[in-house]
Homo-oligomer: A and B are copies of this chain.
Amino acid sequence: MSEARISAPAVPAGAPTRAEGSVKAPAHSQTLSRGIRALEILAEARSPMTIAELSEALGVHRSIAYRILRTLEDHSLVLRDSAGRVQAGPGLAALARGVSRDLQSAALPELTALANGLAMTAFLAVWDQRDCVTLITVEPRHASATLAQRPGTRHSFSAGGPGIAIQSALTEEQWEQLASGQAYRPEARKAREVGYSVSHEEVIPGTSSVAAPIRIPGQLPAAVAVVYVRTDKPEAELGAELIRAAAAIEDELS
């Protein structure tokens, strides 16, 4: 948890590229982009889609959609059922395992302990380009109703506990260098003092979140968080639990 460990966060090359603004990059593959878009559409879909539905969603001719699907199918990224409907396939799970692999492995048992111990949804958020993105989520085992926080959920750093926690892992100077144009929130200054962040009603009306930063040497900070509607536990107690979980994850990775 020493300052030294975060003194040289990696500046992602992707961030300045994005910041260049609306000039469309010429070096971009339309075919590849369409294929990925098809996967994004299928990942969002609540049920398998017909090829006609998918072509329409993609805005391409059915023959193009078919060609994309054949290719995705070759890589196990989509599955077709007996009626010819398409859904996301098991190969995607193998690809996702490579994302911050060590961080995921270290975080999963801690998230599980938080979720079951507090009966709240616990999740790991990481820095992605200009936003904060949920990487993995664990819902509590026995709970009548919990708040889902799906992997891939994206929030601006200006809203929500995990964004504040990630900010709080950096000094204002480091933040300015990494994400100029996004304000360093007063809540992050507070979180930097107490070690955890809180947010109320920022992302979903009626919900709160508490988060603590995870500092990994040479990498951008991440955060562990819980989200809830109401709780009997004092905020400071939740904060202490999250600080403990973040420290355990850091220990595992150091």
Contact = CB atoms under 8 A, between A and B. Distances in A.
A126 to B, nearest CB: 6
Given A73-B17, A81-B13, A152-B93, A98 B129 contact: no
A94 to B, nearest CB: 2
Contacts of A112: 112, 138, 141
A90 interface: yes
A71 B24 CA distance: 11
Contact of A76 (B45, B105, B129, B134): B129
A129 B12 CA distance: 38
Interface stretch (A28-36, A227-235, A237-245): A28-36
A67 interface: yes
Given A29-B31, A152-B94, A82 B17 contact: no
Chain A interface size, as a band, is 35 or more
A84 interface: yes
A39 interface: yes
Interface of A: 10-14, 17, 25, 27-29, 31-37, 39-40, 42-45, 63, 66-68, 70-77, 79-84, 87-101, 105, 108-109, 112-113, 126, 128-129, 133-136, 138-139, 141, 150-153
